[in-house]
Amino acid sequence: MLVYTIIVRNITFSADETAIERAREVARSEHKTLNDAFREWLHWYASRTITREQIEGLFEKLRYVNAGRKFTRDEMNER
């Protein structure tokens, strides 16, 4: 029988009490603890890296895009 041990560390954050309560309510609605929700977020946050090669690959894939004209500064800043 194999047993895997994961070492966890405690960390402390400070946040607005209202935000903490809202986060607890959301976690509860998802049938998990706030601690579980935070661990999921931390895993996502830590894994969201992108390499220079990936960015260059994306630009290469999008190279074919051509609007057919240059846009004015105002057009570029329209929302």
User: How many whole angstroms from its chain centre is CA 17?
Assistant: 23
The residue extents of the domains of the chain are: 19-65
User: Is the pLDDT confidence value at 64 over 90?
Assistant: no
Write the burial class of residue 23 (CB in 10 Å: 0-12 exposed, 13-18 middle, 19+ buried): middle
User: Is the pLDDT confidence value at 4 over 80?
Assistant: no
Confidence of residue 2 (pLDDT cuts 50, 70, 90): confident
pLDDT on residue 63: 84
Q: Percent of the chain scored above 70 by pLDDT? A: 100
Confidence of residue 48 (pLDDT cuts 50, 70, 90): confident
The residue written with tokens 């194999």 in the block is: 2
